Chain A
Amino acid sequence: MLKIQNLHASVEEKNILNGLNLEIKPGEVHVIMGPNGAGKSTLGYILSGREGYQVTEGKVDFMGEDLLEMKVEDRARKGLFLAFQYPVEIPGVSNMAFMKESVNAIREQRGETPLTAAEFLKKAKAASKQVQLPLDFLKRGVNEGFSGGEKKRNEIMQMILLEPTLCILDESDSGLDIDALQEVANGVNSQRDGKRSFIVITHYQRLLDYIKPDHVHILANGKVVKSGDASLALDIEKEGYVFLGQDNDEENNT
């Protein structure tokens, strides 16, 4: 589904990724951990095509296509979804209208007819129930006045509605209390169907109590330095990143 080969990238002429390799097969859940500044969020932004991130070397194949050549919205329409670490507010645009536009843009790409308001409403209600977000959040402006946890749940609700092929969750667990964490995890687990793949970026092992990964990768200095199964995350939890032999905490996570 996704094959990243020797990816080098920079932001404002500062190298962030230095030869990253990663292959994700359909249905797999990959967790990416690593110290601050390792390039975790950058990876999410590069895969989704955010402006300001320059790929200097390497290639990324997404479902048989050159991902790096595609526009942001085309990547999204092909099924790449990014759950934001800090979802932004769009005042005055109702969550409902926003998601309906989004769902229909993606349906159009797949050659499906747009959903009517009634059809959409039905799906949206089911999705909001799944992430335990009260219905009036559908009517409110996109993320407008939402708490941190509500924003994260709203992201997962969008993920459920958009039915993506590859989901990238950028620290969807940070700042959540245990209940919210469980709801986010449940939302993710409900979408695991053997075909859909996930890249879960996180700082904390605790998320992995709820989401069982197939692979765990440690990212440091812009590349994967260690890969393993879920037990790798437990080791990190106990021992930290000392094995890396360096301190990355000085750098900011972009």
Chain B
Amino acid sequence: MSEELDQALSRKYDAGFVSDIESETFPIGLDEGVIRRISAMKDEPEWMLEWRLRAYRNWLTMEEPDWAHVDYPKIDFQAISYYSAPKSMADKPQSLDEVDPELLRTYEKLGIPLYEQEMLAGVAVDAVFDSVSVVTTYRAKLEEAGVIFCPISEAAHRFPELIKKYLGSVVPRSDNYFAALNSAVFTDGSFVYIPKGVRCPMELSTYFRINEENTGQFERTLIIADEGSHVSYLEGCTAPQRDENQLHAAVVELVAMDDAQIKYSTVQNWYPGDENGKGGIYNFVTKRALCHTNAKVSWTQVETGSAITWKYPSCILKGDNSVGEFYSVALTRGMQQADTGTKMIHLGKNTKSTIISKGISAGRSNNSYRGLVHMGPKADGARNFTECDSLLIGDRCGAHTFPYIESRNPSAIVEHEATTSKVSEDQLFLCQQRGLDAEKAVSMIVNGFCKEVFKELPMEFAVEAGKLLEISLEGSIG
């Protein structure tokens, strides 16, 4: 069976095209001068530049972490270009009609039309291309509700007080090696502010696209949900098929004030490299949420892309009764490596967290779950439930689980369940005997395995995520 499966898993990557767009790209290399130039390109206030430089100096003193269960040659940070933007964006187009049609075509090809009338009703999109935001849709409608949704570079000008107060408040500049690098060189990303008591009238989403060669993408997202507000946010990511590895080191910070709720969903489909492990994105991302009293943050991720994924969306449950959730599907195939999971830091009383992680490994890939549940001394009555399931397809892949549990409070309850299963020959045979081809059969079995997570995604995206798994597994069976 494993030969059949291997063939089935040889992939097709639909988003692997390159857009022919004239870009202004910095020469490779990193020093203070590069950071000053990035800041100048964004026309940033002085305090922002200072913030970046402090991060950079910090980064220089740090060491690249090596504890993750992934293996890759050392990254040469001087071989990366830290800024690339389509030339046409230099004139700051005021409306979609002024945006380079080739850029719009890129998003159309990816299935994300940017004209509001053609879009999924009720979804606002910020489209980030290499280092800049191309367009943010539905802004007028959102502003009516008092919701701010704009590129973070613009927010630094328009809302300096909010940025000064919250940027780096959840993921400090020196938090970790890649977060420090991001703080120094971040280029664009989304900024969201939901005012007190407001339920955001539509889904917000950011679509990240890497296009240029030898560039890194370092975006930064900051979402602030003020007291009693609600927001649902989704990010999607793709990149062209290239033989070189490209670095994507993002930081996402969420602040959920008292009684606020944030739902953050990710469909990550960066180029994973070819079946021999050539090329692909290094996805080294820091995502963290701070939850105040009665707040709730829910992370849902569907990770099918990237050569290497290193990512632990986390919740600091600071306020009493706050709730953190993490629902994850990570699929690795070919030579992909994923080390992903979450951290639930229970500080407040009666805080609750739920972790549902589904790892699917195929080909010669390695898929690790790494999760920390921490119960602080004041977290009376705190509860965690973790379910961690691995599905193996074929017999040359690996699934690993690294749970860390720290409990400093005797009244806290931590539950951990884990299973490992295989797509069995029996299941495959049953499906085929009922007329389904092997590819369809595997994608059905995998989708069934992921059901608990998919039901957490916003509806439009749940369908997309299912389809994405299908495409990922296409050709995996002979």
Contacts and interface: CB of A to CB of B under 8 A. Distances in A.
A binds B: yes
Interface of A: 48-52, 71-73, 76-77, 81-82, 84, 87-93, 97-99, 101-102, 105-106, 109, 141-142, 158, 162
Interface stretch (B231-239, B300-308, B378-386, B440-448): B440-448
A51 B448 contact: no
B425 A84 contact: no
Contacts of A93: 444-445, 447-448
Given A50-B429, A51-B425, A90 B434 contact: no
Interface in B84-113: none
A250 B91 CA distance: 85
A51 B429 contact: yes
Interface string B413-436: 000000000001111011111111
Contact of B432 (A52, A72, A81, A92): A72
Nearest to B449: A92
- Chain A CB within 10 Å, residue with most, of B430, B447, B449, B452: B430
A73 B448 contact: no
Nearest to B451: A92
Interface string B215-251: 0000000000000000000000000000000000000
A88 B432 contact: no
Contacts of A90: 427, 430-431, 444-445, 448
Nearest to A72: B432
Contacts of A72: 429, 432-433
Interface in B435-476: 435-438, 440, 444-445, 447-452
A76 B449 contact: no
9 contacts: A89-B427, A90-B430, A90-B431, A91-B448, A91-B449, A92-B451, A93-B444, A101-B434, A102-B434
A166 to B, nearest CB: 12
A82 B431 CA distance: 11
A158 B438 CA distance: 19
A102 B429 contact: no
B1 interface: yes
Interface string B391-430: 0000000000000000000000000000000001111011
Given A52-B425, A89-B427, 5 more contacts: A92-B448, A92-B449, A98-B431, A105-B435, A109-B435
Contact of A48 (B433, B444, B448, B450): B433
B32 to A, nearest CB: 52
Contact of A158 (B424, B434, B436, B445): B434
A178 to B, nearest CB: 27
B454 to A, nearest CB: 9
A12 B378 CA distance: 62
Contacts of A141: 448
B436 A88 contact: no
Nearest to B452: A92
Query: Which are the 4 A-B pairs with shortest beta-carbon distances?
Result: A92-B448, A93-B448, A105-B435, A102-B434
Nearest to B445: A90
A73 B432 contact: yes
A4 B364 CA distance: 41
Given A93-B444, A101-B440, A51 B1 contact: yes
B433 A92 contact: no
